[in-house]
Amino acid sequence: MEHLEINQRAWDRRTEIHAESSFYNVTGFIKGDSTLNSIEINQLGDVKDKSLLHLQCHFGLDSLSLARLGASVTGVDLSAVAINKANELALTTNLNATFICSDVLQLRQVDNQQYDMVFSSYGVLCWLPELTTWAKVIADSLKSGGQFHLVEFHPFHDVMAGYPYFNTHSPFHESESTYTENSGDEEQNIVTWAHSISEVLTALIDAGLVISQFNEHDYSPYDCFDGLQETSSGKFQLIQNNEPVPMLYSLVATKP
Q: Label each residue of the chain as H, E or C.
A: CHHHHHHHHHHHHHHHHHCCCCCCCHHHHHCCCCCCCHHHHHHHCCCCCCEEEEECCCCCHHHHHHHHCCCEEEEEECCHHHHHHHHHHHHHHCCCEEEEECCHHHHHHCCCCCEEEEEEECCCHHHCCCCHHHHHHHHHHEEEEEEEEEEEECHHHHHHCCCCCCCCCCCEEEEECCCCCCCCCCCEEEEECCCCHHHHHHHHHHCCCEEEEEEEECCECCCCCCCCEEEECCEEECEECCEECCCEEEEEEECC
Ranges of residues in the chain whose predicted pLDDT is under 50: none
**The pLDDT value given to residue 63:** 98
**The pLDDT value given to residue 60:** 98
**The pLDDT value given to residue 164:** 95
Q: Where are the domains of the chain?
A: 2-254
**The pLDDT value given to residue 96:** 87
CATH architecture of 2-254: 3-Layer(aba) Sandwich (3.40)
**The pLDDT value given to residue 175:** 98
pTM above 0.75, yes or no: yes
**The pLDDT value given to residue 169:** 77
